[in-house]
Amino acid sequence: MRPVVGIDVGWSKKRRSCAIAASGANIRMRRERAYGNGINAQRATLDELCGALEEWTKRYPEEVAKAVIVLDGPLGRGGPPRADRHIDSACGCDDFNLRAQPVRISHPSTAEYVDATYRVVDALGGSAARDRVWIGGHLPDGTIIAETNPTVGLCLLVAKQDPAKLPSRKRALRIPQRGDSYRAVRAKSDWYWAIGGNAFVADVLGSKEVKEETDHELVAGLYCLAVAQQLAMQAKNKTRAMVLGDEHGGYVVSSMVAQSWFKAVQAVGVIFGQPVCGDDSHYREPLVTRADSVPITFVGKPDDAEGDPSIDRGDFLDLYICDSGGIYAAHNGWLRGEPEPVELSASDGSEILLSHADQNDRSGQWKSMPTTSELGKAFGQAPLSHEHPIVLRVRLK
C-alpha cells in the first residue's frame, strides 16, 4: 500500500488556512482528527504544514519515496506555472461557468498562491520534489505530486446545478444541520460536498466519519486525500482517477462523473484515465431535497471575486451569528481548536473579542465582546435567530 496525502494550500500567517489529510503516512501534527480506517486530518498554518512535511521527509524517507500526494494548489511541469493554463479557463466557462471558478495564473493574488504551493512542494524534498510533479502520462513507482481542484472535482460528482440556486461569494446560503441548527455556505465546494460529494468521498476512503465533516479546509483536504487514494488505485469503492487538462497543467479528479457532466468533461480534455458515467442520483443526500436554502444577511463587503484565491486562503473569515446568547463552533467550524482569546476585526474597523463561555462547557459556545445582541443591533439584524442570522466578514488579528 502506498502512503497517500491530501493537502489544501493556504498562506495566512494568522489562521490555519491549510489542511492536510493522510493515510499510511507518519505525518505528526498537533490537534489531529481521526476519521477511522487510518485517516487523520488537521488544519494548519503554512509554517506548521511545511514544518510537519519537512520532518516527515527527514524521518520517514521510505514513505515519501512511494507516496501519492495531491495538492489543491497550482503546479507546473518543471517549475511554478507563470502563464494562464487551459485547464483553469476551460473549467470556468461553458457548462462550468458560474458552477466552478478556478483561479487563473494571471490573477493578481495568484502569485501568492503559487508561492505557497511551492513552499509545500519544496518541504517535500526541494528541487527533487519539483521533479516529482506529475501531470498525466505513465504513473511512476516513486513519489507522485499532483494537482486537483476540489470545487471542480466535487461539482462533477453531483447532477449539474442551477447556477441561480448556488451560493456565491456575494450571496451566502444557509443549509440545515442536525436539529434546528444551520450553517452558512458561500463556497461552492462546500455546497457540492453537502449535497452528496461527502458521501462519495466517504465511500472512497471507507470512513463514515468523513461524511460528517463540515469544516471548509478539512473538507478540501479530505477531498484531495480521496483523489490521491484513487490515483494510487487504493479506493475502497474501487473507483479510479483521471486527469483533465493538457501538458501545461491538469486537475486529478474522480473518473466517475455524474451523467449530466459527461460531455463537458470530454470537452475539457482527458489526458489520463477514462471518464465513467455515474448515476446522478446515487450520491444525492436527503439534505439536498430539503435544503430549502435561504439567503443570509451578509455584513461586510460582499464584492469578493469568485476567482480570488485569497478569499479562503488568507486572513478573512465568515462569522455566523444566529443567537443572542453567544457564538457557536457548530456554525463556525474554524473556531474549533482555536486558542482563546480570538481577536477579530470587522469590516467597519471595529474589534470583536471571543472567549469560551464556560471552560467546562462542551457545547462549543463562545461569548463575544461586544455581545452578539449588540452586534445584531449594530449591523441591522435584531433580534437574532436561526431564521434571521447575520454573517460578518472579519479578519483574524
Residue 290 lies in a domain: no
End-of-domain residue from the set 260, 278, 296: 278
Q: Does the pLDDT at position 298 exceed 60?
A: no
Q: Pick from 164, 167, 199, 165: which is nearest to 186 by CA? A: 167
Q: Are residue 224 and residue 341 in the same domain, yes or no?
A: no
> What pLDDT score was predicted for residue 290?
34
Backbone φ, ψ for residue 51 (5° rounding): -65, -40
* Torsion over CA: 160, 389, 303, 319 (sign): negative
Residue 300 lies in a domain: no
Q: Are residue 357 and residue 238 in the same domain, yes or no?
A: no
CA 110 – CA 107 distance, rounded (Å): 5
| DSSP string over 254-273 | ESEEEGGGHHHHHHH-EEES
Residue 21 lies in a domain: yes
Averaged pLDDT of the chain? 86
CB environment 204-227: b (16+ within 10 A), e (fewer):
bbbbeebbebbbbbbbbbbbbbbb
Q: Does the pLDDT at position 295 exceed 70?
A: no
Of the two residues 314 and 92, the one the predictor is more confident about is 92
* Torsion over CA: 43, 44, 49, 52 (sign): negative
> What pLDDT score was predicted for residue 145?
98
Q: Are residue 360 and residue 273 in the same domain, yes or no?
A: no
CB proximity list for 14: less than 8 A, separation 6 or greater: 45, 315, 396, 397
Average pLDDT over residues 68-84: 95
The grid cell for 344 is 477579530
Q: Are residue 29 and residue 145 in the same domain, yes or no?
A: yes
Q: Are residue 222 and residue 87 in the same domain, yes or no?
A: yes
Q: Does the pLDDT at position 300 exceed 60?
A: no
CA 106 – CA 88 distance, rounded (Å): 11
> What pLDDT score was predicted for residue 275?
96
Q: Are residue 326 and residue 263 in the same domain, yes or no?
A: no
End-of-domain residue from the set 258, 278, 298: 278
Q: Does the pLDDT at position 322 exceed 70?
A: yes
Which residues span the domain enclosing 385?
A: 315-396
pLDDT tens string 349-374: 889 999 988 765 556 889 999 998 88
End-of-domain residue from the set 278, 306, 323: 278
Q: Does the pLDDT at position 292 exceed 50?
A: no
Q: Are residue 85 and residue 152 in the same domain, yes or no?
A: yes
Residue 320 lies in a domain: yes
Q: Are residue 10 and residue 126 in the same domain, yes or no?
A: yes
Beta strand extents in 239-381 (DSSP E only)? 241-246, 249-254, 256-258, 270-272, 276-278, 294-295, 297-299, 316-321, 327-328, 342-346, 351-356, 365-369
Residue 283 lies in a domain: no
Backbone φ, ψ for residue 92 (5° rounding): -125, 5
User: Averaging pLDDT over each range in 187-196, 218-227, 312-321, which range is the top one?
Assistant: 218-227
> What pLDDT score was predicted for residue 26?
96
Q: Does the pLDDT at position 60 exceed 70?
A: yes
Residue 370 lies in a domain: yes
> What pLDDT score was predicted for residue 359?
64
Least confident of 1-15, 220-234, 375-389: 375-389
Q: Does the pLDDT at position 285 exceed 50?
A: no
The grid cell for 87 is 485547464
> What pLDDT score was predicted for residue 64?
97
How many independent structural domains does the chain possess? 2
pLDDT tens string 25-50: 999 887 789 999 999 999 999 999 99
Q: Are residue 203 and residue 348 in the same domain, yes or no?
A: no
Q: Are residue 215 and residue 130 in the same domain, yes or no?
A: yes
Residue 90 lies in a domain: yes
Q: Are residue 344 and residue 241 in the same domain, yes or no?
A: no
Q: Are residue 151 and residue 22 in the same domain, yes or no?
A: yes
Average pLDDT over residues 300-328: 67
pLDDT tens string 203-244: 999 999 999 998 899 999 999 999 999 999 999 999 999 999
Average pLDDT over residues 68-79: 95
